[in-house]
Amino acid sequence: MRKIGSETVRECPCEYALRYIDGAWKILIVAHLVRAKIRRHAEIKRLLRGITAKMLTQQLCEMEHDGLIERTVYAQVPPKVEYRLTALGENTTSCSRGDVCLGAQTREGASRTQFAKTNANAVGSKSQRRSVPVQSPAATCP
């Protein structure tokens, strides 16, 4: 299913790029590696609530195979393994920033909708209601 080396006829560049970051956790892994540059397996697992150790290992192996992250193993007891983004992995951060902006905007829109529904049910005329200023989505995006 995820053959990155093979190309299909008339393949969209977006589709090809998304093959690298498919999976439920890869974008979040990239986001955490951007913040700290170097993370260990246990740190990533702690940060990603809900991921199993098996799924994290699988996602990290795929990302290493695809050249998004670099894995460094230190010969010591207990074993120490660190992960960091490669140059290719750092290029995915611009895509991740777009996802963050989209998430902030949709979350903000959902909050406004819920606020409007709550106020519509309140007793009183429209002139008595005050609107709450909402921060611009552009201000929250990196």
**What residues does 131 pair with on adjacent strands?**
none
**pLDDT tens-digit map of 15-58:** 766 777 777 788 889 888 988 889 999 999 999 999 999 999 99
Please provide the size of the chain in residues.
Answer: 142
pLDDT at 103: 65
Q: Could you tell me which residue, 57 or 6, shows the higher pLDDT?
A: 57
> Which tens digit of pLDDT belongs to each residue from 88-122?
888 776 655 555 566 667 766 666 666 566 665 55
Q: How far apart are CA 115 and CA 111, in angstroms?
A: 6
Angle between helices 26-36 and 53-65 (to 10 degrees): 80
Average the pLDDT over 62-71 and give the result. Answer: 92
Residue 92 CB coordination number (10 Å): 20
The pLDDT score that the predictor gives to residue 131 is: 47
- 137 band by pLDDT with thresholds 50, 70 and 90: very low
Q: In this predicted structure, what is the pLDDT of residue 1? A: 42
**What is the per-residue pLDDT for 24?**
77
Tabulate helix, strand, coil % of the chain (nearest 5).
55, 10, 35
If one compares 67 and 24, the residue with the highest pLDDT of the two is 67
- The 3-state DSSP class for residue 76 equals coil
Residue ranges in 26-134 assigned as alpha helix (H): 26-36, 41-47, 53-65, 87-91, 93-121
Phi first, then psi: give them for residue 78, nearest 5 degrees: -70, 155
Distance separating alpha carbons of residues 10 and 14, to the nearest angstrom = 12
Residue 76, phi then psi, degrees to nearest 5: -155, 165
pLDDT of residue 135: 47
